[in-house]
Amino acid sequence: MNCATTCNTGSCRGSKEPPCKRPIYRKSSHKEPYIEETDQVWIEAGFIPPLDCRRAVALLHRLAMDEDPAASLLSSVLTMTAKSGEDGRGYRILDPVKLRRVAEDYGIEPACRSDGEIARAVTMAIIGEYGEKAQEASR
């Protein structure tokens, strides 16, 4: 049953219940990835990390925006235990020049590393940055 239809006819609510707020889901391509608000960071850095790294950064971002102290702890744990793409596999390189420029901005030496390894190092630096920001805020 389509929620929009039932809300318009009133059959999904009683006299005291609020109107139906469920969204109407449309068919979408499964090939189109969901874009997190933090995904623009990756595009500007010239690469897309594996999905678990993107989700971790999105979560850290949300926690940091709410000034949740868990962001620092989670950042530390993720930095120490992140296993995704240790060898640089799973990273989609969009622009190697941008990637190397961002790596240098983070103090990462790109020499003798593959683009995937550089992308992983940048990802870990971004994750680690959330811990540093939370520590600075608590001082």
3-state secondary structure of 48: strand
Domain ranges of the chain: 1-28, 33-138
Which ranges of the chain would DSSP assign to H, the alpha helix? 3-9, 39-45, 51-65, 70-81, 96-105, 115-138
Q: What residue ranges of the chain have pLDDT lower than 50?
A: 1-13, 15, 17, 19, 21-30, 32
DSSP bridge pairs for 92: 48
Give per-residue pLDDT as tens, 17-30. 454 544 444 444 44
Residue type, 102: V
113 φ/ψ sector (left φ>0, alpha ψ -120 to 50, else beta): beta
- The residue type found at 41 is V
Residue 87: predicted pLDDT: 64
Listed in sequence order, the residues at least 6 apart from 97 whose beta carbon sits closer than 8 Å to its beta carbon are: 46
Nearest to 135 by CA among 53, 55, 79: 79
pLDDT (0 to 100) of residue 36: 66
Total-model pTM:
0.64
Residue 105's pLDDT is what? 96
